A and B are shown apart, each in its own frame.
Chain A
């Protein structure tokens, strides 16, 4: 979100390498592979939560008030929470919520941003000016702040989190796409398409859009971590997911006053946020290093 794409050094000697498929997987991209693997594991855990969670019912609405706040044990690896639910199960189910939020936010903000960005970049002139000034305004808010303000307006729920974050994130993609699209639009093949009388929308979506996507995709994977963190922060502030949804930020918030007495309630969901955001960041960094070379 914050770090603009900085192309790594482009040495005169490298083009030869680009064609070696093996390098794609080993070589410089060990980071991307590691990130992808870690993320795949988390996705798998989320998808399989109903089967691998030791107490799947605890991921939903079940409660066991008499087993509250048990420390980690063979029965409950991560202990139990205030109302006796298995923390491990809730962390696994929480992966579903977090990933759902991440995917939805990236899809919405990426989609809106790319479309507006391509239009701005291709059309240029006042269209570009208007769109860019609007993104300026949105970008003048730190993302979390605007999400906060929006989440206050909407009632707390997972949908609110998605909307509040998506609204604040699309301008980044609009910006990025606009600049890439502007340079793509001046390339010869677009000119020739124009000369052949291909209608503008078709040029935009057939030719400009596909050629502008790569940096956006890299940015999207980099931003996954940011979305996870922002969503967790919103839920932590009580503006996001609520009971009985399993959500990591909410779990940290509910357990924070228990940190000194029942550390497990807070520690594991916090680690889950950390690891997931980390996986996104590693993947994004790896892709960035690879694709922008």
Chain B
């Protein structure tokens, strides 16, 4: 078991190393001189040279890569060209809000996707199945940025049911200031018992989280359905039927747990995907997460920031996969034996 863990960790480390190298290479290919971008359009040659030296742009590429890796490891993710602050600080500020949004979306997706998948599997081949399959295909086909605009126009500005944008009513910072620990507003508000900010945050979360949940709900429903159907065709399901259990019981009480394994791996995949998809949603709802930071970085060709965002999301993805592998051990005892 621990050998499996070590091998798995080694694999993850290898992937992270590859990710860092690839990111470095891509960032070196970005047109334009980062020194110029940093020093500004009116920089003197001396300022430019200083900037070049600061970014180590005069060293040979392998040396630059080595320095880059060394800096990353020691927590120096470089300085953003557009905010002029350490990229790491920027990411720490922006990421919790993104995490909050993505987590909310995934909660919705799991809470809706799995029951829908079960229902579809239960009524396989009949109308409920077809309609669930078609709507989940629709959900994975919708361009999020467009859906975000549409929902915002209809439900916020049209019907006025939800706030237009933002993470919470910023006026509340005055009347009931939030003490931050994790920087995830909903979590901090919950643990410090700051109900005004908590309810406001949840209210603001509804639309963006729903939009962002569309894709994961669709794929989770489809995957749950497929995995359940596969699982319910196995010998053990026949055995459970022969023990007198009905179809619904076989699906939910017996087949669902082994079927969750592929669904879980899918969730890890969808988690990272949703962070990036969230960039597009955040822009529309002005959610103060990584999205705005990333789009600003792209607009200004801010290579250290783009690299930071890329590395962070890729690293999260690797971590999520690792976590899922471990979780699968909890769900499926067979995996523990590997």
Contact = CB atoms under 8 A, between A and B. Distances in A.
B172 interface: no
A137 B143 contact: no
B137 interface: yes
B276 A236 contact: no
Interface residues of B, number: 63
B291 to A, nearest CB: 10
Contact of B301 (A152, A233, A273, A285): A152
A274 B233 contact: no
Contacts of B141: 225, 229, 274-275, 277-278, 280-281
Query: What secondary structure prevails in chain B residues at the interface with A?
Result: helix
Interface string B263-301: 000100110110111001000100000000011001101
A133 B22 CA distance: 13
Nearest to A7: B230
A137 B19 contact: yes
B162 interface: no
B49 to A, nearest CB: 25
Contacts of A153: 26, 29-31
Nearest to A285: B137
Interface stretch (B10-18, B176-184, B244-252): B10-18
Nearest to A34: B134
Q: Which of A137, A236, A249 has the most CB of B within 10 A?
A: A137
A133 B30 contact: no
Nearest to A35: B137
A149 B143 contact: no
A237 interface: yes
A6 interface: yes
Contact of A260 (B22, B153, B313): B153
Interface string B138-153: 1011111111011001
Interface in B141-199: 141-147, 149-150, 153, 157
A148 B290 CA distance: 14
A145 B271 CA distance: 13
Given A2-B219, A142-B317, A153-B31, A137 B22 contact: yes
Nearest to B143: A273
Interface in B52-69: none
B222 interface: yes
A117 B18 CA distance: 19
A6 B317 contact: no
B23 interface: yes
B318 A140 contact: yes
Nearest to B26: A149
B310 A270 contact: no
B280 A233 contact: yes
A152 B298 CA distance: 7
Nearest to A273: B143
Interface string A257-276: 00110010011001001110
Nearest to A226: B140
A141 B310 contact: yes
B139 to A, nearest CB: 10
B264 to A, nearest CB: 12
A259 B269 contact: no
B143 A270 contact: yes
A281 B317 contact: no
Contact of B140 (A6, A148, A225, A267): A225
Interface of A: 2-4, 6-11, 28, 31, 133-134, 136-138, 140-146, 148-150, 152-153, 155, 225, 229, 232-233, 236-239, 249, 252-253, 256, 259-260, 263, 266-267, 270, 273-275, 277-278, 280-282, 285
Given A141-B314, A278-B138, A282-B137, 16 more contacts: A2-B266, A6-B223, A9-B229, A133-B18, A138-B22, A144-B273, A148-B298, A152-B30, A153-B26, A153-B29, A233-B144, A252-B145, A274-B143, A275-B141, A277-B140, A278-B137
17 contacts: A4-B262, A6-B227, A8-B230, A8-B233, A31-B133, A136-B14, A140-B18, A141-B22, A142-B313, A145-B314, A152-B306, A153-B26, A153-B29, A259-B150, A270-B150, A285-B133, A285-B137
Interface of B: 11, 14-16, 18-19, 21-23, 26-27, 29-31, 125, 133-134, 137-138, 140-147, 149-150, 153, 157, 219, 222-223, 226-227, 229-230, 232-233, 262, 266, 269-270, 272-273, 275-277, 280, 284, 294-295, 298-299, 301, 306, 309-310, 313-314, 317-318
